[in-house]
Structure 1
Amino acid sequence: MSPHSRGVLIDVGGVLVRDYLPAASAAWGRRLGLSAAAFMAALYEGDESGVLIGRVSADAWWETVRERLRTGPDVIAELRRDLASRETWDEALVAGLRGLRARGVPTAVVSNTWPGLRTRMSQGGLLDVADHLVLSCEAGCAKPDRRIYEIALRLLGVEPADALFIDDTPANGAAARALGMDGHVHTGTAQTLARVEEFTARR
């Protein structure tokens, strides 16, 4: 691989996977007699960083969620299945990434995620979407920690100045730019694909 190769790093939630949480939180909040905000807080607030970096198992975290929601294990099992079923991948972005790989452009998925994403990607035939998957629950660190970006850059064999980082969270993009990467805040598929094409076409 040329030391001057341009690489693309891309997020999953809210980018490759469309944001399904607002609809899910509204639906489950109604079912459980909570506001959507209260439901989201039960899922993600507090010490969620432990499960994101692999220090807490997904099952243990869901037990915490069950206690917060004051519900039974059957409801939690249904909730987990429902959230997984709502995970819809952006076909155009997936095709775009596969196209980059076919052209020899190094690519990496860099995601803050609970355990299980790699398995779901495998089941969906999506492990080929990028050269490397850098998942916070496996890496032991999460965006915006610089270490997770450095892991991805090392795997890709590209310098920060030759890397484009795509995320829907501005703070994560700011952390990437602080390391010398180019950053793009995802707001829509067409804009992101155009940004990738513009970046990878540079010499």
Structure 2
Amino acid sequence: MAIKAVIFDLGGVIFHLGEEGYRREVARRLGLGDSLPPAYEEAMPAIQRGEVAEQDVWEALSGRRVPLDAFDDAWQEHFTVNPEMLALAAELRERGVRTAVLSNTQASHVAIMRRMGVLAPFGPVLMSCEVGRRKPEPEVFQLALEMLGLPADEVAFVDDVPEYVAAARAVGIHAIRHTGDVAATRRALLEMVAPEGADGTN
């Protein structure tokens, strides 16, 4: 059965992943040296589910209040759009395949990406901090399927994290690990897509 939708991860797929550099810059601006303490990583699941405000975590770590957009420029420096992946998503849409997004992320980063307009062609867009679930929880994949209105075997998922790829497969989604080779990811996806016109959608 040909796939009818592809769900894309963001960091490491649609965006080049610059997490290490971003965190280093945040740590420096908070006066914490060159690295964020373990407490930041421990708080990340709650931040990404929208259960804890980022500003509260930053304040607890640094002892001072900082605005939500304090590190926007650092994020944009270290996370840049991958135009080849955007082109692949556009190609899929031209073939009648829907494209969606599922990302573990936080409120400040969502605000930046929405302002950039990168997410506009995708739908639905599931941000963990907005839906209260995060990968690899099976519930977030089920929610994506419900919002697409499609069964798992008609949906593909692209992510760079093996654990998340495995979690998607566990609920029946065709999952591909993106290793940075756009051509390989494209081939894998197009093998699952019906030829143009085969299903009457093009």
TM-score (norm 2): 0.81
Query: Given the alignment of the two structures, is residue 161 of structure 1 paired with residue 153 of structure 2, yes or no?
Result: yes
Find the partner of 1:198 among 188, 191, 194.
Answer: 191
Aligned residues: 194
Residues 10-57 of structure 1, C-alpha deviation per residue, up to 9 Å, x if partnerless?
Answer: 11111111111233455667886745xx437454x1122211111112
SS class of match (1:166): strand
Residue matched to 2:7: 9
C-alpha change, 1:18 and 1:172, in structure 2 (3 Å) is same
Shift of 1:103: 2.7
Q: Is the 8 A contact 1:9 1:110 kept in 2?
A: yes
Residues 55-111 of structure 1, C-alpha deviation per residue, up to 9 Å, x if partnerless?
Answer: 1123223323435xxxx5579975453123322011111121122223321221000
SS class of match (1:14): coil
Query: Given the alignment of the two structures, is residue 53 of structure 1 paired with residue 49 of structure 2, yes or no?
Result: yes
Q: Is the 8 A contact 1:62 1:76 kept in 2?
A: no
Q: Identity across aligned pairs (percent)?
A: 29
Residue matched to 1:112: 104
- Which sections of structure 2, spanning at least 5 residues, go unmatched? none
Query: Given the alignment of the two structures, is residue 187 of structure 1 paired with residue 179 of structure 2, yes or no?
Result: yes
Q: 2:124 corresponds to which letter in structure 1?
A: H
C-alpha change, 1:104 and 1:62, in structure 2 (3 Å) is farther
Q: 1:52 corresponds to which letter in structure 2?
A: Q
Find the partner of 2:17 among 16, 19, 25.
Answer: 19
Which whole-Å CA distance do the structure 2 matches of 1:110 and 1:93 have between them? 15
TM-score (norm 1): 0.80
Residue matched to 2:90: 98
Q: 2:189 corresponds to which letter in structure 1?
A: V
Q: 1:196 corresponds to which letter in structure 2?
A: L
Q: Is the 8 A contact 1:20 1:86 kept in 2?
A: yes
C-alpha change, 1:59 and 1:78, in structure 2 (3 Å) is closer
Q: Is the 8 A contact 1:12 1:110 kept in 2?
A: yes
